[in-house]
Amino acid sequence: MEQITAFINKIESEDQISSSTRKAYSSDLLKFSRYLQNNQKSRQSIQQITLKHFFRFLEHEKKLGLKPSTLHRRRVSLKKFAEFLSDRGELEKSSVQEVAGWQ
């Protein structure tokens, strides 16, 4: 997915983010991308990621029984991605806070 690739490229170039954080963000977003691709009814690529995509992925991960610490990290990664999309004008600013507040 173009948006995820652009986000990963952006964080790879940021010096203020540690190597382990970059790896975690990349890993989480690649899982998110695979989830979106595997759960598309039409199997077409998603042109616009919406808030429901974030929540469905997080609920899916929660149902898998992941540890709370892993779910928290996934949520933080998605929040950072949502901020990136918001900065590009592809997601409403209010959606960023909704992703951050997911339980």
How far out from the chain centre does Cα 73 lie? Answer: 10
Instruction: Give the tens place of pLDDT for each residue, 72-99.
Output: 999 999 999 999 998 998 888 877 777 7
pTM of the shown model:
0.83
Q: How far apart are CA 18 and CA 26, in angstroms?
A: 12
Q: Please name which of 73, 48, 47, 45 lies closest in space to residue 58, comparing C-alpha atoms.
A: 73
pLDDT recorded at residue 61: 94
Q: How far apart are CA 81 and CA 86, in angstroms?
A: 9
30 confidence band (pLDDT: 50, 70, 90) = very high
